Amino acid sequence: MGAAGGLACNTCHHENNFDPAGVPGNPKWQLAPLEMAWQGRSLGQICVQIKDRERNGGRDLAAIVKHMAEDELVGWAWAPGGRRTPAPGTQKEFGELIKAWAETGAACPKIPVDTKG
């Protein structure tokens, strides 16, 4: 769903999902800052962005692991309610994968260089 121009987020997003309209909700709901957007970005760009403390809320790798493994808003992806498709696996499994990634150097896929421009 797109943002309704001029309205506060909590006009539509409440403490719980509103499944008849497909509107997600959570007591801690807030719109992610624009610098956290992933749409249209490659896996390499998302990886670099996740590790960038200026765009990730100042988190080091340990804090990233904790956030991904334990944050209830991240966890919403595995229990989104309504007709939404949950993320594969579990948040615990995701946290273990993120931890293994961090412990092995947190490498990012190479970002292709645009040679056409």
Reported as a single tens digit per residue, the pLDDT across 14-58 is: 888 777 877 877 777 777 777 778 889 999 999 999 999 998 889
Cβ atoms 98, 67 nearer than 8 A: no
Give the number of domains in the chain.
Answer: 1
User: Is pLDDT above 90 for 90?
Assistant: yes
Residue at 19 is within a domain: no
- List the domain range (segments joined by +) for residue 93: 40-109
Which two tokens mark 65? 């692991």
Return the pLDDT at 1.
Answer: 47
Q: Report yes or no on 95 lying in a domain.
A: yes
Q: Residue 13: inside a domain, yes or no?
A: no
Q: Is position 101 within any domain?
A: yes
In the chain, % of residues over pLDDT 90: 48
Residue 2 has pLDDT above 70, yes or no: no
Query: What pLDDT does 23 receive?
Result: 80
* 104 within domain boundaries: yes
Structure letter (DSSP) for residue 57: T
With a cut of 90, say whether residue 114 has pLDDT above it.
Answer: no
14 inside domain = no
Domain assignment present for 63: yes
